[in-house]
Amino acid sequence: MHLTGWKYYAALLGGCTGVLGVVFYPIFIYPMMHVDEYKKIQEYNRRGIKQEEIQPGGMRVWSDPFDRK
């Protein structure tokens, strides 16, 4: 079957949208929907590391600037 006219453009647009969806899902969507899983992974990877000791140049450890004191 040979696509011409609007069917060609609809297939092309649908294909591009599908490819972008497949590419962006594991990068952006999955991590935002499974935040707790990524927090556990980060906690596991950073165990035993004291951030104050490895902070370069005697700088203060990062804190949330919008957090109330």
Q: Convert 9-35 to b/e letters by CB count within 10 Å (16 or more is b).
A: eeeeeeeeeeeeeeeeeeeeeeeeeee
Cβ–Cβ < 8 Å for 61, 51: yes
pLDDT computed for residue 57 by the predictor: 75
pTM of structure: 0.53
Residue 37: pLDDT over 90: yes
Task: Kindly report, residue by residue over 40-61, the tens digit of the pLDDT.
Answer: 999 999 999 888 788 777 777 7
